[in-house]
Structure 1
Amino acid sequence: MRTLGGRYELEQRVGVGGMSEVWRAHDLVLDRTVAVKLISPGQEGEDTSVERIRAEARSAARLVHPNVASVHDFGTSIAADGGEVPYIVMELAEGETLAAHLRDGALDWRIATRVCAEVSAALAAAHAHGIVHRDVKPANVILTPAGVKVLDFGIATPAGAPDHTPEGMVVGTPAYLAPEQIDRQPATPAADMYALGVLLYYCLTGRLPYTAGSATQLLGARRRQPPRPLPEIDGLPPEIADLCRRCLAEDPAVRPTSLMAALLLAEVVDARVYVPMLAAMPRPRSAPVSPWTDRAAAEATEAMAVPAAEGARS
């Protein structure tokens, strides 16, 4: 069994991406289960240097929030060719991804709203630290018994930083990229809000606001036509539909802030989320059941009253 840094014993590979793989591991020093993200070494000239990954890990480690999967450590291991392979040690969020839940179709609008409220709260914490996630999507959202965890700040960047990726490449998932990201403009919090709009649309409808059969077609279609408006959804409050529309605006200045979105979405389902300006809110009661099981909508809404603030203070 492979051990990194004499401390992290890799047990099972749980995910593979374009430039990384994630392992369930055991921290031998603190005797706890963690997630270890191994970053694949890039080609000469690509922006995958050890120092860049170290800087990203440090940025992500500043985020202490109940809806953010915490970063615990950073290190390097030696590859077969003698090169350095950076790795990031993170909190292992137990639960299913939002992508897995969406395979069965759209969520009840109240659950969709609560999920996106907590994602917005996580983004508000990041944006308050000047960090842009750049890859908000269902696969990076875990639904745990205590609520949402947003994963993978591994390509997070300081707001306004220039794009140093090789020409012809874009960072992020095509369906969730803001128009300005496709044009390789510096990432800002507004780009994350566009992705939130796509995420909210997908949760409410079970499909993307675009029609395309491949990533190439998707990027082409997005340059030619605006996102489709939300269809009629029984019981959906108009302010949710309006928020989704504004998040998907082509002009970044029209999109709401993450803080505004978190508060609005939480208010609609009578939930509380942990955001920087509300850190001193009174401690409410917690619900004893998971908010993500299938049950009647009324029961789901009551279960979703598990506040993120509770986890922040425990």
Structure 2
Amino acid sequence: MYEPRTPEDPPLIGGYRVLARIGAGGMGRVYLATTQSGRKLAIKVVRPEFAEDPEFRRRFQQEIAAAQRVQSFYTAPVIDAHADGPQPWLATAHVPGPSLAQTVVELGPLPEASVRAVFAGVAEALQAVHAAGVVHRDLKPSNVLLAPDGPRVIDFGIARAADTTPLTRTGMRIGSPQYMAPEQALGQPSTPAIDMFALAGVVLFAATGRTPFGEGPAEAVLFRVVHEEPVLDGCPESLRDLVERCLAKDPADRPTPRDVLDALDAGTEPPGAGWLPEDVTRRLPAYSAEPPRPMGPPTSGPGFDPVPAPPAGAPVPPAPSVPAVRLLLLALAAAGAVIVVLAVALVVLRPWERDAPDAAAHRPSASLPAAHESSTATQTAGPDLGGPTRPAPGGVGTQLGHYADINLSSGYAINLSDDPKHPKASSGGEDLRYDGTLWGDRLSVLAPGQPGGYEACRDNTRYADYLGDDYLIKGKRICVTTESGLVGLVEVRGTGDKPSAYLAFDLTVWQGVPPTPGG
């Protein structure tokens, strides 16, 4: 459930002893730490790119002060924070449970009783957040943790601090398009009503494993958010009307958290033990167990204590490779400079016709799986994959190979017809390319619980050209169909950032239908 602390990680943050890594998200890395009395904390250390911006630090300090006013059973309370050090950090009470995102991806949707508890608990959390003058702005399944005695909402208000940084102004997105309200997509002011819109998406995901407006490129999702009606297939009938009201295009038509609690007839008592299904409950003790031991003596000095100078030996992010920079520029050109500009432009232009992948997955900020370093490949007996268009003797559907523990570093790529175990520096046209985003000509995502295999990938034609980090979590299955007729199934094992960013996965390759000559 946790990754060991590495020699590069700080042994102390603000005087709190670091025990392990919990995960990483768009704004930074999260550590499991402990107070002197033994109380466990989750400490988010902000990425250096954000820390360099004075406006971010000013807003971060404001949001810390506001978040400390939030008092609710259903939130992870802010315990401590420091906005002025080399890398700002925020410490909250540790919640011993997985994220809703991780749970649904790995185990499937929750039963109706559990979904109702999520609906009510998150609504009560939002009531407290809004009463403190805070708007969450980034409510999504990975920001809802499933504790033994009820759900907890984390990361409330923090997204606002990043809104005006150079990173977000030049294309980095803080927020998840699948859960953004229309007014967010159009760059209008954010009010508490945007959180109610996101709450409906979280509830639908908990109940079905899908989001109201589908998946795919951010601009396509946001177009549907603004212009199309949500797809609520599979939503429990007892909750459907309330979910629809939360998804109203006009923020004035959405209910408040109090309205939701009244409609659910939710009492004041938390759900208590037994609110989750047994397969989820069996996993909970692992989140309270002792974390893994550190991998070696620390090399980063005293850690992120509030002192004027950064810790000695702190790791310096490596300079991006030329291919990585090139791919990033391509990504920004494809997605536009700023997501708001995209959304407004797309309202008029409507430049796509393809559907998005039929699945929902979100990067859990509270649990990043460890990626593997093994270099052992297992390949089934079959033909040499050296030729880019060579069909298998067994014909369409023949498995050509299975490759375990591929590590695809940022700026590198593979072709399914070559040796996938040995990625090469990307030139921009390979079958699978990674730069923090996964790129390919025809990518599609299998839904949770859907059988994998050649037929599933062949029949899933809701293609996308790239998939962001919300899809690149452990257990996610991604199909890729190449121009040469090969079909691949990527089974994600996780991501890592040491010594550089990389995606770890297993890959199975089949012979598909060769392209039609001249077609």
Is 1:272 matched with 2:267? yes
1:50-199 equivalence runs, <5 A? 50-75=57-82, 84-103=86-105, 104-155=107-158, 157=160, 164=164, 165-166=168-169, 168=171, 170-199=173-202
Unaligned runs of 5+ in 1: 79-83, 274-283, 296-314
State the Cα distance separating 1:73 from its structure 2 match: 0.7
Q: In 2 relative to 1, CA 177–157 (structure 1 residues): closer, same or farther, beyond 3 Å? A: same
Q: Is the 8 A contact 1:170 1:182 kept in 2?
A: no
Give the SS at the match of 2:44.
strand
Amino acid at match of 1:292: L
Distance 1:53-1:75 versus aligned 2 partners, 3 A rule: same
* Secondary structure of 2:142's aligned partner: helix
Tell me how far apart the structure 2 counterparts of residues 196 and 9 of structure 1 sit (CA, whole Å): 35
For residues 44 and 51 of structure 2, the distance between their equivalents in structure 1, rounded to whole angstroms, comes to 21
* Structure 1 residues 77 and 167: CA distance shift in structure 2, 3 A: closer
Q: Which has the larger radius of gyration?
A: 2
What's the TM-score, normalizing by structure 1?
0.76
1:37 aligns with 2:36: no
Identity of aligned residues (%): 36
C-alpha distance in structure 1 between counterparts of 2:55 and 2:104, whole Å:
32
Report the AA paired with residue 47 of structure 2: S
1:131–1:156: 8 Å Cα contact kept in structure 2?
Answer: no
Paired residue for 1:9? 17
TM-score of the superposition, structure 2-length normalised?
Answer: 0.47
2:207 to 190, 204, 209: 204
Q: Describe the shift of the 1:169–1:246 C-alpha distance in structure 2 as closer, same or farther (beyond 3 A).
A: farther
The CA deviation at 1:224 is: 4.2
Counterpart-to-counterpart distance in 1, 2:123 and 2:206: 14
Q: Distance in 2 between matches of 1:85 and 1:188?
A: 29
* Change in 2 beyond 3 A, CA 1:174/1:46: farther
Indicate conservation of the 8 Å contact 2:134/2:157, yes or no: no
d(CA) in 2 for partners of 1:102 and 1:34? Answer: 25
SS at structure 2 position matched to 1:113: helix
1:292-307 to structure 2, matched below 5 A, reads 292-294=276-278
Using the alignment, how far apart are the partners of 2:143 and 2:118 within structure 1?
Answer: 12
Structure 1 letter corresponding to 2:101? A
In 1, are the aligned partners of 2:137 and 2:157 still within 8 Å (CA)?
no
C-alpha displacement at 1:223, in angstroms? 3.9
Contact 1:53 1:154 in 2 (8 A): no
1:253 is aligned to 2:256? no
Distance 1:9 1:76, change over 3 A: farther
**How many pairs are equivalent?**
266
In structure 1, the residue matched to 2:275 is: 291
Q: Which amino acid letter does the alignment assign opposite residue 125 of structure 2? A: A
Q: What is the CA-CA distance between 1:262 and the residue it aligns to?
A: 2.2
The DSSP-based 3-state class of the residue aligned with 1:42 is helix
Distance 2:160 2:263 in 1: 26
Q: Shift in Å at residue 110 of structure 1?
A: 2.0
Equivalent in 9, 15, 24 of residue 32 of structure 2? 24
Paired residues of 1:46 and 1:166 also in contact (CA < 8 A):
no
Distance 1:241 1:187, change over 3 A: same
Distance 2:29 2:54 in 1: 17
Which residue identity does 2:34 align to in structure 1?
H
Any idea what SS the aligned residue of 1:200 has? helix
Change (3 A) 1:90 1:232: closer
Letter in structure 2 aligned against 1:2:
P
CA distance in 2, matches of 1:59, 1:146: 26
Q: Residues 166, 122 of structure 1: CA spacing in aligned structure 2 closer, same or farther, 3 A cutoff?
A: same
Question: Counterpart of 2:48 in 1: which secondary structure?
Answer: coil
Query: 1:116, 1:233 → 2: CA distance?
Result: 12
- Structure 2: where are the runs of 5+ without partners? 1-9, 280-519
Question: Cα deviations across residues 110-129 of structure 1 (Å, max 9, x unaligned)?
Answer: 21111111000000111112
Change (3 A) 1:133 1:47: farther
SS at match of 2:33: strand
Q: Distance in 2 between matches of 1:223 and 1:46?
A: 32
| CA gap 1:187/1:294 in 2 versus in 1, 3 angstroms | same
**CA separation of 1:211 and 1:75: change in aligned 2, threshold 3 A:** closer
User: What is the CA–CA distance in structure 2 between the aligned matches of 1:170 and 1:47, rounded to whole Å?
Assistant: 19
User: Hey, what does 2:453 align to over in structure 1?
Assistant: none
AA aligned opposite 2:202? L
Distance in 1, matches of 2:50 and 2:154, equals: 25
Which residue matches 2:449? none
SS in 2 for 1:49: helix
Deviating more after overlay: 96-105 vs 254-263: 96-105
Mean CA deviation greater in 149-158 or 62-71: 149-158
Read off the aligned partner of 2:20 and give its amino acid letter. Q
Cα contact 1:198–1:208 (8 A) shared by 2: yes
Q: Which amino acid aligns with 2:92?
A: M
Note closer, same or farther for the CA distance 1:9–1:20 as it changes in structure 2 (3 Å cut).
same
Counterpart residue type for residue 11 of structure 2 = R
The Cα of 1:108 is off from its aligned counterpart by 1.5
SS at match of 2:278: coil
* Structure 1 residue aligned with 2:480: none
SS of the residue corresponding to residue 26 of structure 2 reads coil
Cα deviation for residue 106 of structure 1 reads: 2.2
**Contact 1:15-1:22 within 8 A present in 2 as well:** yes
Residue 52 of structure 1 and its aligned partner are, at CA, apart by 1.8
